[in-house]
Amino acid sequence: MTKRLIAALWFGSGLFIVIAAAAIFRAAGPDAIGVVLTRWHYIALLAPLALIFFEWRKQRGRMVVLLFIAILVAAFESFLDVRLAAMRRDSSVPISSLSRNSPVRRRFGMMHAFSTTLLLLDVIAAAAVIAADREK
């Protein structure tokens, strides 16, 4: 029961961010979504870490590998989001007001796209953990 609750919290919070991120960004700006993502990173790191201990005891190797990969994805996603926030903070003008050909804007765009992809992979990993849990 505890495992399912942790996995559901992990999946549900990630899915919420995937669905609501654009609306939060439009309504409140990049700082608001940054605050939401900061909380998400705690969940994305701690939930699979907690679940890995449950699975380690049961010696379910595939599940442990999946959870370990999810932890790595979440850690790299967290690192990228910190770098993106630093780029926004250090820029004298909003990133969106920079020229499309600006190296800073292009690098920001590539990092943002990669971060978004990692978020989606993390949500897919959470869904895979829920689907693979056959314990009744």
Distance CA 5, CA 39 (A): 18
pLDDT of amino acid 111:
93
pLDDT of amino acid 136:
45
Per-residue pLDDT of the chain (136 residues; tens, 9 = 90+): 788 899 999 999 999 999 999 899 889 888 888 889 999 999 999 999 999 988 887 777 888 999 999 999 999 999 999 999 898 888 888 877 788 888 888 898 999 999 999 999 999 999 999 998 765 4
Distance CA 80, CA 73 (A): 11
pLDDT of amino acid 49:
95
- Count of Cβ atoms closer than 10 Å to residue 67 Cβ: 26
pLDDT of amino acid 61:
82
pTM for the full model? 0.86
Distance CA 44, CA 42 (A): 6
Short-list 60, 45, 28, CA closest to 134: 60
pLDDT of amino acid 118:
96
- In this structure, what token pair is assigned to residue 26? 């439009």
Identify whether the C-beta of residue 71 lies closer than 8 Å to the C-beta of residue 49: yes
pLDDT of amino acid 8:
94
